[in-house]
Chains A and B, each alone.
Chain A
Amino acid sequence: MKTVSLISQVIIPLFILFAILYGCIKRVRVYDCFISGAKGGVGVVVRVFPYLLAIFVAVKAFQASGALEFAQELLLGLLKVFHVPIDVVSIALIKPLSGSASLGVFTNIVKTNGPDSLASLISAVIIGSAETTFYVLAVYLGAVGIKRTRYLVPVCVLADLVGIIIAIGIVRFFFHLG
């Protein structure tokens, strides 16, 4: 574990050092290059902003209105049939919507159930193997001004659902719990 986290600490500084030194060796004007590349950043963020705004407002409202809790209760009955811990519902619902909120929910699950419980392990695998789908969609589609997304959104939602089922199955298989 120590070596693994060491590698993750070292990778970005080394990469930047290498990129700059390699540029110097190839006689590239590194500083001017950096500036001209970075100029593009402003345009991208300005273009993405309205899309981000739309999705953030909708997601916050969905949480605050109690609609999220209702959806959780709706799914509870279903999960009881398959002997899946209830906490998994909250992580599965929040993960596609908000990255920071899902880390908060995860920390809470670990705190209440203990780090080696089935609920914590399943949530850990879901967090590690899923993405904040709607954020990714907003940013990437916004960056190039795509308006018609054809069947992308339903496919992503279905894929998220399959991903959660896979995560539950794999944790069951690996840890022989529940």
Chain B
Amino acid sequence: MNTVWVLLIVISVFFSFLNGRLDEFTKSIFEGAKSAVEVSLFLLGIVSLWLGITKIIEDSGLIHRLSGFFQYFVRRLFKNIPPDHPAITSITLNFLANLFGLGNAATPLGIKAMQDLKTLHPGGETITFEMMVFIVVNTASIQLIPFTVIGILADYGSKNPSAIVLPTLLATFLSALFALGILFAVRRILK
């Protein structure tokens, strides 16, 4: 992330010199700061809300019933996590929330999953392979039905907006598979 950040900032300053957009550059960093605050406030609400709900379904034991059958797949993907570790459950719930397009629930559950993964290596500031697998699956964003996109297509008079569902589903599964493939391949090469 260090390299990415340095590149973004340095290139931006360079181009704002070149295009005579120094004013815009200054304005944009304050705008960026403002939207970070707005998104954080939004996150504060939904993260707390879903952590509250999650605590209820944890304490009542519902969490294990909900994630039961899907957990088999998650355990296969994360072979190095003990099968009864809480990370398995939170990862499962995050994947399910993504699958159903519940972005507002997926992020808080994902944060919880990262915290659970961290307990396997407390104190470490270096990412673990399990965390990488989890993040890569999340950035590939497996989603069953892209509601927002269908909505926009329909608004502008598409003949058949839901025709996009099957291609999107296929694309999202294929790209997730490829992403995982790349990750596992890189690990093998570097070993």
> Taking beta carbons and an 8 Å cutoff, which residues of A are in contact with B?
1, 4-5, 8, 11-12, 16, 18-20, 22-23, 25-26, 28, 30, 33-42, 44-45, 48-49, 52-67, 70, 103, 106-107, 110-111, 114-116, 120-121, 124-125, 127-131, 133-134, 136-141, 143-153, 155-156, 158-160, 162-163, 166-167, 170-171, 174-175
- Secondary structure call for the B interface: helix
Listed A/B pairs (16) with beta-carbon separation below 8 Å: A1-B161, A12-B105, A16-B53, A56-B35, A58-B8, A58-B12, A60-B28, A66-B15, A106-B149, A106-B152, A115-B156, A129-B171, A137-B1, A140-B114, A150-B127, A159-B178
Given contacts A58-B8, A61-B29, A155-B132, contact A37 B56 (CB under 8 A): yes
Residues in B neighbouring A12, C-beta threshold 8 A: 102, 105
Residues in B neighbouring A138, C-beta threshold 8 A: 1
> Taking beta carbons and an 8 Å cutoff, which residues of B are in contact with A?
1, 3-5, 8-9, 11-16, 18-19, 21, 24-25, 27-29, 31-33, 35-36, 39-40, 43-44, 47-49, 51-62, 100-102, 105, 107-108, 110-111, 114-115, 117-118, 125-127, 131-132, 134-136, 138-141, 143, 145-150, 152-154, 156-159, 161-164, 166-168, 170-172, 174-175, 178-179, 182-183, 186, 190
